[in-house]
Structure 1
Amino acid sequence: MEDFEVKNNDFLRQFEATIKDEFVKLEYSEQEKKIFLSKFIIPESLKELDYDNSFLTKVFDYIKEKGRIKIVPTSKEVKKFFRANKTKYADLLPVGMSI
């Protein structure tokens, strides 16, 4: 699997990466110490190679590293990823929210 870097594009409010010459992005909005992960766009060819999980892992790890902010997954792909990795990222969910 090809290594890649995920960048936080503050101006466009999205996490983005170029993987195998394909553009991947996860749009977000921020409110009161919460980041709403809303629209995940990844080519099907990259999903088949499991790059969706790699990309989301890098995004979640980045957010966890920064601290002070909670994740609110609003897209179905991000919710699915969160459920599959609940134990690792449980502390990123706002108090009282369950997915």
Structure 2
Amino acid sequence: MKIMSDDDLKIENNTFLRQYEFKTEEGLLTIEYQDQGRQLFLTKLNLPSKQISLETVEVFIAQVLETYRDSRIKVMPTSPEIAKFFKKYRQKYKDLLPAGITI
């Protein structure tokens, strides 16, 4: 199995469907969101199959989050899977959370 890096992902922001998309061999991996101005709610992670690796999912989530690193927009993970990712990498992504929110 090939080890993935952030450079391997070609993520699309489908603003019409309000989701980030990544095409894999297994199918379309998406993160649905709601844009509330200065806050972005990541509401749902859709996996194309159970066969997709955790590493691929984590690289996808990380790359989506990195797009907000230098912006004033705060990210609120309301999806259980994305909240779990935030907990796992708490130190790296805590600055993306709105003030007063801990996960």
TM-score in terms of structure 1 length = 0.89
Gaps of 5+ in 1: none
> Which residue is equivalent to 2:29?
24
Give 1:5's aligned residue: 10
The CA deviation at 1:21 is 4.8
Q: Percent identity?
A: 35
CA offsets per residue over residues 53-89 of structure 1, 9 Å max, x none? 1110111111214x11000000110000011111111
* Structure 1 ranges of 4+ moved more than 6 A: none
Task: Give the structure with the larger helix fraction.
Answer: 1
Contact 2:26 2:52 in 1 (8 A): no
Residue 80 (structure 1) aligned with residue 50 (structure 2): no
Structure 1 counterpart of 2:97: 93
Q: Kindly provide the amino acid, as one letter, of the partner of residue 5 in structure 1.
A: K
Please list every run of 5 or more consecutive structure 2 residues that lacks an aligned counterpart in the other structure. Answer: none
What TM-score results when the alignment is normalised by the length of structure 2?
Answer: 0.86
